[in-house]
Structure 1
């Protein structure tokens, strides 16, 4: 019998087997419902609660504020990305939400003053806050008007605000036209005048809650204003963001290969002129799976290399210089290009390997390609390849930008 309830109603129903508070059980539970949720879209409130219950909301909170990051034996960026990647193998939309949770925490960590870091990062641990994002740098519709005492009124809108629905806090950026500068801050998502719109309806990444947020003369109090810094360590935030996306791509490639392998073993028959008794003995299929694996493990290796470079740079703190930072940007772009291509190629090759029956809508095996296609349009691949080419030819390192 088809479930005629609306997606919001289905979300409220308890899962038959609620996952234990560990990553392995979480992955199994997310995989069980991934195809259905991809078709339904909407807000994954139940699954976000599972992520919180698994203790993952504080992955990027520094150990000194009660989080899991650093502090001798704690998580590092390599570990954070391994977790995001693992979730992306089964559900890249929810992996995106966790990745952007980490990104907003980093925003407070590198742009906030000591009081802001202690308050907001500490409360993230104590209150188990989900963070939303209204810092889309290319969307300049949100205007900040200065008020007495150093605060602002925010009026306008921001798009692609991942994770805002169901969040308790959000980071925000706006344009102060009078001063000719950008303004950054932190606000509670439920503050008067903020409306989180349910208007996210893409072909993929359907549960990232990346819709529009509108602001109707919303207060940004003086103590909520953060100062964006251009010191090399602070600009690592951009690379943290880019490696979130990179590891989503890697996870999509891994997940597509895993699903292709499972489907192939259970359902695929040898082609009528192949001359083999088992599809797994078809030399063309062996070649296809070999190519899929090579692309996937190549993307894994490049992403791991970039994560280790980020860890090395992060640990230098304020001693990090611009050239060292630029080498991390180069490694990040190299990894992102490789992972971008792997995600698209492997998620398409899945169908070449598995055949026509694998296109059945209930299987939703196309979600890997659709998720990859949506996310790989985040910023143009060509400009990253250009930067890599410049370095290959004459050693010119990438400049700091909104995306490098």
Structure 2
């Protein structure tokens, strides 16, 4: 997708491949061109997903030994944030693809995740989410040496137009959680196009039906299994880090849209006595607050990503305390990114003026996207977790949301 750089070396043209960030910026610029109309239309961003497929970025977090680009999580989060500035729906499905790959890496044996990684890198597979452990309508029962999944899952981001799914079910007898990696096209799996929310309208976060789906033993991610070791408990922290970067990217995108409107379209209030909106002290005060908040959120988010990379690099040697330290930094960043994002996406209209509310601009999409996303994991409970650490030095208990 990105255009390579041409340089002369001994009078011979050499084409250098674009860097990861150059590729991400090129893609984001393309997404930005149609973000407004696609937000209104909803549905599947098929063309945009195919651009990501063709870019090679689906292999971004896959190690080089399995044919991937071998990026660390800090670099991967920078791409997520770059996409979120332009279109948070695209950032969502892209980031969740890498979350699903991480789920395989953390919950499965090497002889399981390595072939899946190799196929993903070589064939540009997109992974979708049908895990949602809070939705217990899907059950698993053993039939001989295989399993049968039946039921329904909601909030299945990126499931449509995916090649692979991470799914979960609860056993009928003991109500234990079972997680598996399945081809989206397997018999009995139906992805429904029933996502029609006010925000994140192109994340394909609808439902998936499972009707007597055959699940082989090698499809099950049971060694070490879900949240069974400090290392496998990094999965929810990566999910939280992804959300933090999406929220921050939305806030940055809203800030840039507000700034562009203020500089080019907004008019000074008639009682200000000013010729230009850019001279209004109240407008300048708002922008100063926006900038300070964004800088704080960026610093905390980048710190959290660095701490997560440190934890990830320790693999099975990771301790509960080290996992807890990463959790505290990520929780802190998420709280600030949430509050900063909700503030800017709402107050941006105070620096743009009433004309900025024209429906055709759809500047409200920034708030709608962030508000839709943040309600799925209430920030009040994150603050409570942080309070337990601040007062009693208690790390958050690992769950799929902490």
TM class by shorter chain equals over 0.9
Task: Select which of 189, 195, 206 maps to 1:194.
Answer: 189
Report what 2:201 is aligned to.
Answer: 206
Report what 1:15 is aligned to.
Answer: none
Report what 1:234 is aligned to.
Answer: 232
Moved more, 54-63 or 95-104: 54-63
Report what 2:294 is aligned to.
Answer: 296
Asked whether 1:123 is paired with 2:124, we answer no
Report Cα offsets for 1:310-341 as digits up to 9, x if no partner: 01111111111001101111111111110011
Report Cα offsets for 1:377-402 as digits up to 9, x if no partner: 12121111111112222322222122
Moved more, 76-85 or 270-279: 270-279
Equivalent residues of 1:295, 1:346 under 8 A apart: no
**In 2: Cα distance, 1:290 partner to 1:279 partner:** 15
**In 2: Cα distance, 1:257 partner to 1:110 partner:** 36
Report what 1:66 is aligned to.
Answer: 67
**In 1: Cα distance, 2:400 partner to 2:92 partner:** 19
**Cα RMSD (Å):** 1.2
Q: CA deviation at 1:189?
A: 0.4
Secondary structure, in 3 states, of the residue corresponding to 1:161? Answer: coil
Q: TM-score, normalised by structure 1?
A: 0.92
Report Cα offsets for 1:364-389 as digits up to 9, x if no partner: 10000000000011212111111111
Asked whether 1:81 is paired with 2:82, we answer no
Q: CA deviation at 1:179?
A: 3.8
Report what 2:173 is aligned to.
Answer: 178
Report what 1:345 is aligned to.
Answer: 343
Equivalent residues of 2:266, 2:352 under 8 A apart: yes
Report what 1:215 is aligned to.
Answer: 210
Moved more, 171-180 or 85-94: 171-180
Q: What is the aligned length?
A: 381
**In 2: Cα distance, 1:396 partner to 1:192 partner:** 46
Secondary structure, in 3 states, of the residue corresponding to 2:360? Answer: helix
Q: TM-score, normalised by structure 2?
A: 0.93
Equivalent residues of 2:31, 2:87 under 8 A apart: yes
Report what 1:139 is aligned to.
Answer: 135
**Unaligned stretches of 5+ in structure 2?**
4-17
Q: CA deviation at 1:19?
A: 6.4
Secondary structure, in 3 states, of the residue corresponding to 1:152? Answer: strand
**In 1: Cα distance, 2:278 partner to 2:324 partner:** 45
Task: Select which of 304, 307, 310 maps to 2:305.
Answer: 307
Equivalent residues of 2:25, 2:82 under 8 A apart: no
Asked whether 1:91 is paired with 2:87, we answer yes
Report what 2:29 is aligned to.
Answer: 28
**In 2: Cα distance, 1:196 partner to 1:394 partner:** 45
Report Cα offsets for 1:15-65 as digits up to 9, x if no partner: xxx865822221111111000000000000000011122221011212221
Secondary structure, in 3 states, of the residue corresponding to 2:177? Answer: strand
Secondary structure, in 3 states, of the residue corresponding to 2:186? Answer: coil
Equivalent residues of 1:143, 1:155 under 8 A apart: yes
Report what 2:379 is aligned to.
Answer: 381
Q: CA deviation at 1:216?
A: 0.6
Secondary structure, in 3 states, of the residue corresponding to 2:59? Answer: coil
Task: Select which of 239, 249, 255 maps to 1:257.
Answer: 255
Secondary structure, in 3 states, of the residue corresponding to 2:178? Answer: strand
**Unaligned stretches of 5+ in structure 1?**
1-17, 70-74
What are the residue-to-residue correspondences of 1:31-42 with 2, within 5 Å?
Answer: 31-42=32-43
**In 1: Cα distance, 2:109 partner to 2:120 partner:** 16
Report what 1:49 is aligned to.
Answer: 50
Secondary structure, in 3 states, of the residue corresponding to 1:382? Answer: helix
**In 2: Cα distance, 1:345 partner to 1:208 partner:** 23
Equivalent residues of 2:235, 2:400 under 8 A apart: no
Equivalent residues of 1:93, 1:207 under 8 A apart: yes
Asked whether 1:269 is paired with 2:267, we answer yes
Asked whether 1:164 is paired with 2:159, we answer yes
Secondary structure, in 3 states, of the residue corresponding to 1:218? Answer: strand
Secondary structure, in 3 states, of the residue corresponding to 1:115? Answer: helix
Report what 1:333 is aligned to.
Answer: 331
Equivalent residues of 1:156, 1:214 under 8 A apart: yes
Secondary structure, in 3 states, of the residue corresponding to 1:24? Answer: helix
**In 2: Cα distance, 1:391 partner to 1:215 partner:** 40
Report Cα offsets for 1:209-260 as digits up to 9, x if no partner: 0000001101111111111141101110110111110100000000000000
**In 2: Cα distance, 1:24 partner to 1:234 partner:** 32
**In 1: Cα distance, 2:181 partner to 2:311 partner:** 26
**In 2: Cα distance, 1:31 partner to 1:312 partner:** 33
Task: Select which of 139, 144, 148 maps to 1:148.
Answer: 144
